[in-house]
Amino acid sequence: MLKLDETIVQEYFEYNGFLVKALRKACPQAKRSLADEGASLYVKNSNFVSGGRDPAFTIFSSELRYMDSAIICVRGWHEDKAALATMTDGAEVAKYVETKISKKISKWFPQDVLESIGIKEAPMKILVAPVFPMHEQYRREIERVLREHGIDAILSFKSLLVDLIEHVNTKEVYPKSESLQLIRMLKTFDLVKSSQMNFG
């Protein structure tokens, strides 16, 4: 069963017209860390039109039209004991990415992942991150490090969650999605207020 954060990412891509396939790998060691399980999802843009520019490194909804396909790693930063989502200093985040995250990328995107989904062309490799610094200097540093380790783009978990919340209609029901139903309920009872939300 997909974890909640993976389910939310899946809902986000499906909502934006992508076909989504969950990636599953065998786990022979009972003590194997969830953080090292590898990529979570393969997404394919059903509305992609070739000939456009490449997506920006930081992916927002407006960039999705330029994406053909991608392998998404959701597990990475969310499972870390350091609780990267609580970091507020850009220098601290950049240092953490360089010293910790960069060493795990090869595990999150194993070489055999393309064989497991039966495709020959290499899709984009995207990391879902709980936080990304606002300061341009640290954003460029993180981008440099991640690109050097084969990452093509980063997707902010906060931005995709806000986007989903913004588009959930309280007058509709979502019988096939527990997460969207939960968001609908929270909005119905004024517990969240779309773009006015503050995640801290």
Mean of the pLDDT values across residues 184-193?
A: 90
Q: State residue 3 phi and psi, 5-degree precision.
A: -75, 165
Give 162: exposed, middle or buried? Use CB within 10 Å, 0-12, 13-18, 19+: middle
Q: Does 184 score more than 90 pLDDT?
A: yes
Band (16; pLDDT cuts 50, 70, 90): very high
Measured distance CA(145)–CA(116) in Å, rounded? 27
Q: Does 55 score more than 90 pLDDT?
A: yes
pTM of this structure: 0.83
The closest of 56, 74, 54 to 13, measured between CA atoms, is: 74
pLDDT of residue 188: 93
pLDDT (tens digit, 9 = 90+) per residue, 85-107?
566 678 888 888 899 888 888 88
pLDDT of residue 163: 92
Q: Does 24 score more than 70 pLDDT?
A: no
For the chain, the structural domain boundaries read 4-22+34-196
